Amino acid sequence: MTVTDDRPSAVLGTRLLRREDPALLTGEAKYTNDLDLPGALHLAVLRSPYAHARIVSVDLSAAQASPGVVAVYSGADLAGEWASPMPSAWAVTADMKNPAHYPLASSKVCYVGDGVACVLATSDVAARDALELIDVRYEPLPAVVDLEDALSDRVVIHDELSTNSSYTWDLKIEGTEGQVEQAFADAAFTVKERYVQQRLIPMAMEPRAVAAVPQPFGGDMVLYSATQIPHILKVMTALTLGIPEHQMRVIAPSVGGGFGSKLDVYAEELLCVALARKHRVPVRWNEERGEGTVATTHGRGQIQHVELAADADGKLTAVRIRLLADMGGYQQLITAGIPILGAFLYAGVYDLPQAYDFSCTGVYTTLTPTDAYRGAGRPEATYAIERAMDALADQMGIDPMDLRKRNFIRKEQFPYTAFTGLVYDSGDHLAAAEMAAEMADYDGTRARQKAQNVPGAKKLLGIGQASYFEMCGLAPSRVLASLNYSAGGWEAATVRILPTNKVQVVTGTAPHGQGHETAWSMIVADKLGIAPGDVDVLHSDTALAPLGLDTYGSRSLPVGGVAIAIACDKVIDKAKKIAAHQLEANEDDLDFTGGAFTVKGSPDRTMPLAAIAFEAFTAHNLPDGLEPNLEAQVTYDPPNFSWPFGTHICTVEVDTETGQVDVLQYVAVDDCGVQVNPLIVEGQVHGGVIQGLAQALYEEAAYDTDGNLKNASLAEYLVPAASDVPPITLGHTVTPSPTNQLGVKGIGEAGTIGAAPAVINAVVDALSGLGVTDVPMPASPHNVWKAIQAATNNSQGASK
Amino acid sequence: MIPAAFDYVRAGSAAEAISLIGQHGDEAKFLAGGHSLLPLMKLRLAAPSVLVDIGRVSDLSYIKDAGDHIAIGALTRHMDVETSAVLQEHVPLLAHAAGHVGDPQVRHRGTIGGSIAHADPASDLPATTLALGATYIAQGPNGTREIAAADFYQGFLESALAADEMLTEIRVPKMQGAGWSFQKFNRRAQDWAIVGVAAWRRNGDSGVALVNMGSTPILATSVSGALAQGASVSDAAQLAAEEAEPQSDLNASPEYRVHLAKVLVRRALEAASA
Ligand SMILES: Cc1cc2nc3c(=O)[nH]c(=O)nc-3n(C[C@H](O)[C@H](O)[C@H](O)COP(=O)(O)OP(=O)(O)OC[C@H]3O[C@@H](n4cnc5c(N)ncnc54)[C@H](O)[C@@H]3O)c2cc1C
């Protein structure tokens, strides 16, 4: 199925420059915070300095008297505004414990950053100055920072739950009882590893921003927000505030990145709407960077126990996974479901018999809530299996590449029904791995490594690999039902040909950096035989695009893009009826190519779409019973997930004296099926790889034992800059997805999924001669140095 | 990230700046490049009520050959120090170190005087000028005085400057062909050093100073002493942290800092001896 032609047509597959970029690069793009809203009041939120404390009293009087202040509220003051607690859309188990969570706390705070009071003032500065005058008395309680400590219930955070465990979700395959235990008993090799997925701070370039604007009379409300999910936000805001849904409109102006952190319904969004409703004036809020480090959701935060069983040839025979997942102080929109999104991927790209035992326990801590972060559950899963595969290869004394090749699902096994019952659409892991190996000069590097990594060498070479499967294109609605998710996974599209043959596309996807306007215009241009520049893409406004399920989980192209293609087909079908009528031909005798209908065999009997568009508009001469205008609306529910895959190979040199890791080369071979625009694909992979590399080497939300975030600024939370990024060499194979007409799969998260395990495998590979078997993330110089010290002390201890 | 309210006055000359500071008392501060002061003010860790902007006192931006030393005006930007042909010839260690301060934006705004007056042990130029045996010129209401770099740094962000004194000039002895090396160990290119070393060596003489190894920049006198007595580079480097009192932070424990100092001093001296 692998095809070599990655330029399926004249438009699709070309490197068209992104139409979004001129406005973004020149600063002309309008973000939420750029909106001019005369008379708007500014909201500022007072945040708890304690990770865990009872609120004894809140004195607002001094703040109320501060210049420019219009109103000050405590959590208790606003209790009457909420029709329900903040939404949590994913009760992963029927008995999941989920405490009621309100936009402002009134009796207890559960993390540093938890909102306790708010100020409305005539300027942002006046509002923030007044925060300092609010006097809150707290009774501090012990913080719960460590996941295993949380599980012990030494300190119970939510009294009403009487435990910190929220849920335990198991994936057991019916009819295979005892098989896992048997496989472990029979195994020639087993590995048992423990990995920590440190918490990460998403750090979108644009911090969050909100503006709620009440409309004159009647109670309509427009909510502007830097969000990835205008549609979901509309429903959730309406429900939480008791506003009739048809009176809520949500607009996401230009949005500067999200990485999952803007896939949420936040306290500040609800507060702005509630206070705009109460005061009948626009209310706006914008997040400061430091504030965002505690007030916006974090990603990852898991402890993973991974066990693999293999036969004498290294063929995997069973996988057992136990996860502890950090919910943080409360659940946000889909907090509980994030680790479950990875549940199906802990066997990676390998041909595993039905011997899989997965269990995840979600626990509360007194830290910022976690939620989706680029890859959401799937990078964690890939990390665990790919690190454990290296551990297995090490134990067997074989090359990790060789071990992977013995276990890959083979090309001819696709479509492949996995042990979970999920069907992997298409793939060729061996081809991707071999291509990556060749690009990285895998064998040559191994030879150089042998020469370089001699006893006493101060600079050690390491090479690491990760092969991944990404489950994306979220999602078939029925599968989501089986996971207890409270929405579907479809996407909507409208394609409308205007009288002058220009096209409007209305999409339910909500781009925030991905380039949908460019990509969707290419799909339409290809379908209709027009120029991409003649296509306008409307999105991210629930009045213009009322139907949609937004952008996350690498879903926009394989679900939303496919919906657009289908809508184009419908429009063409209708146009064909008009063409047949006017050309006095049979519909079946018409070809549609190059933007024109032509009677087969009679090239002179032809009618361009432009002419049909105008005929459809004037409606002077349409077939009987046909409605005027060319427009089609489609809601597409994907029949399956899509399964992009690939292999990443990273080469590092580790300075054993300082612990510094230098990435010498990074090769990523990704297969996202058919590429609509390779330029956008490459951009997504570059960004994703850097984000994965950041987890591997730089980033970690570091807390002290009192639950204070120690690196709450960009000076201390180390997002790598351009100067820190190694050369990244990209390759791709193209294995179309057979489940959609475009053959597309999705690419938004792939880079992040492959990078962290490839980098850490390389670091551990470099140090393996010293006896190092694992290095925690981030593999900072200090952490690497400590791992070397520990291994060296161990081996000295052993030799004594 | 919004500073507390403050008043702002701009000085046209050093004398005017000193008199303005005198008028406004303890609550006033000089503003040079603003790249240390403004971040502190935004975090509300500093809240001066008046800023006396000396950023446009242009006659204090110069690099002059003064015979046995190079005289650098306090308001000279890092970028000008980095690219100065005079410094590259006579004090290459300082020009090189200036090229490692922050990122290009920082180097275009920040001044050598501001960096030294701020007395941040994690900054590059205080330690570098300390290693080079520089002399700083301070001007106050009663005239000017010279302060040896070795006497200048008194505590964390504390210098020998009186509140109404302005640093006007930095005098750095010519290196006379000494071997040198600047080792900056950090995680991202733009960051402050986790540990840094500025070192030069000429026959038996040497100067070694450490960045971020205590509450002030540290002169590693034990290392120079050992070298003067003929110790090998690697033996001398073992004494790197003798004068240091390294702190713990997110990037390093004290133990790791001491280890890094020894490694980096050894590397610096090896490079300076080559
Ligand atoms: C992102 C970033 C990264 C940085 N990275 C580094 C780095 O890697 N290495 C490094 O060394 N530095 C770094 N810096 C700091 C930078 O070098 C500053 O420019 C420098 O430390 C201060 O110089 P300034 O002119 O900006 O001083 P200002 O911020 O204006 O002033 C600093 C202090 O000195 C006082 N002051 C200033 N000039 C005088 C004077 N002539 N006489 C008396 N008092 C005076 C001020 O009152 C204030 O208290 C970084 C800064 C930023 C923002």
Q: What is the DSSP string of A667-689?
A: EEEEE-BS-S-HHHHHHHHHHHH
**Measured between beta carbons, which residues in chain A are less than 8 angstroms from residue B256?**
782, 785-786
Q: Does residue A632 sit in the same domain as residue A713?
A: no
What the block records as the tokens of A347 is 């066997």
| Amino acid A798: pLDDT | 56
CATH, residue A790: 3.30.365.10
What the block records as the tokens of B266 is 């050894």
Burial A36-54, CB ≥16 within 10 A → b, else e? eeeebbbbbbbbbbbbbbe
Which domains are seen in chain B, by residue range? 7-53 (3.30.43.10), 58-173 (3.30.465.10), 180-273 (3.30.390.50)
B270 touches chain A (CB under 8 A): no
Q: Does residue A580 sit in the same domain as residue A467?
A: no
From the list B39, B190, B250, the residue facing A702 with the nearest CB is: B250
Q: Does residue A579 sit in the same domain as residue A606?
A: yes
The protein residue with its alpha carbon nearest to ligand 1, atom 43, reads B166
The answer to ipTM > 0.90 is yes
What phi, psi does B14 have (nearest 5°)? -60, -45
H or E segment and range at residue A784: helix A781-799
Q: How far apart are CA A115 and CA A111, in angstroms?
A: 9
Q: Which residue has the tokens 């998260």?
A: A749
| Amino acid A172: pLDDT | 84
What the block records as the tokens of A655 is 């300075």
Q: How many domains does chain A contain in total?
A: 3
Between chains, do A716 and B250 touch, taking CB under 8 Å as contact? yes
- Regions of chain A where pLDDT drops below 50: 1-8, 800
State the virtual CA torsion across A169, A173, A176, A181 in degrees, nearest 10.
Answer: -40
H or E segment and range at residue A299: strand A299-310
Q: Which of A7-16, A138-147, B198-207, B229-238 has the lowest mean pLDDT?
A: A7-16
Q: Which residue has the tokens 């109460």?
A: A278
Q: Does residue A134 sit in the same domain as residue A39?
A: yes
Q: For residues A543 and A249, is the Cβ–Cβ distance under 8 A? A: yes
At residue A578, what is the residue type?
I
Q: How far apart are CA A440 and CA A438, in angstroms?
A: 5
CATH, residue A94: 3.90.1170.50
**Measured between beta carbons, which residues in chain A are less than 8 angstroms from residue B191?**
715, 718
Q: How far is B53 from chain A (nearest CA, A)?
A: 23
- Residue A434 included in any domain: yes
**Measured between beta carbons, which residues in chain B are less than 8 angstroms from residue A657?**
263
Residue of A474, A463, A44, A473 lying closest to A271 (CA atoms): A44
Pocket lining: B110 vs ligand 1, CB cutoff 6 Å: yes
- Euclidean distance between the first and the last CA atom of chain B, given in angstroms as a whole number: 47
pLDDT in tens, A358-378: 999 999 999 999 999 999 999
Question: Ligand 1 pocket check: which of B115, B184, B190, B195 to mutate, most ligand atoms within 8 Å of Cβ?
Answer: B115
Between chains, do B260 and A698 touch, taking CB under 8 Å as contact? no
**Measured between beta carbons, which residues in chain B are less than 8 angstroms from residue A702?**
250
Q: Does residue A580 sit in the same domain as residue A655?
A: no
Q: Does residue A525 sit in the same domain as residue A625?
A: yes
Q: How far apart are CA A681 and CA A471, in angstroms?
A: 17
Q: Does residue A579 sit in the same domain as residue A617?
A: yes
- Residue A160 included in any domain: no
Q: For residues A302 and A326, is the Cβ–Cβ distance under 8 A? A: yes
A residues 771..800 contacting B (CB < 8 A): 780-782, 785-786
| Amino acid A223: pLDDT | 98
Instruction: Supply the range of the domain harboring residue A243.
Output: 32-141+207-255+262-295
Pocket lining: B61 vs ligand 1, CB cutoff 6 Å: no
Q: How far apart are CA A303 and CA A324, in angstroms?
A: 5
H or E segment and range at residue A292: helix A289-295
Q: For residues A223 and A212, is the Cβ–Cβ distance under 8 A? A: yes
Across the A:B interface, residue pairs with CB atoms under 8 Å apart total 48
Helix (H, G, I), strand (E, B) or coil at A140: strand
| Amino acid B176: pLDDT | 96
Residue A319 has what DSSP assignment?
A: E
CA A440, chain centre distance (Å): 28
Q: Does residue A584 sit in the same domain as residue A672?
A: no
Among A610, A636, A662, identify where a domain stops.
A636
Q: Does residue A416 sit in the same domain as residue A466?
A: yes
| Amino acid A639: pLDDT | 95
Closest ligand 1 atom to B168 CA: 41
Tell me which chain B residue has its CA closest to the CA of residue A699. Answer: B187
Pocket lining: B57 vs ligand 1, CB cutoff 6 Å: no
**Measured between beta carbons, which residues in chain A are less than 8 angstroms from residue B194?**
781
Q: Does residue A437 sit in the same domain as residue A574?
A: no
Global pTM? 0.96
Helix (H, G, I), strand (E, B) or coil at A198: strand
- Residue A595 included in any domain: yes
Burial of A293: CB neighbours in 10 Å, binned 0-12, 13-18, 19+: buried
pLDDT in tens, B70-112: 999 999 999 999 999 999 999 999 999 999 999 999 999 999 9
Q: How far apart are CA A479 and CA A183, in angstroms?
A: 29
- Residue A127 included in any domain: yes
What phi, psi does B235 have (nearest 5°)? -70, -45
B101: left (phi > 0), else alpha (psi -120 to 50), else beta? beta
- Residue A235 included in any domain: yes
Among A295, A317, A350, identify where a domain stops.
A295
Residue of A550, A551, A536, A468 lying closest to A501 (CA atoms): A536
Give the gyration radius of chain B's Cα atoms.
18
Q: Does residue A553 sit in the same domain as residue A701?
A: no
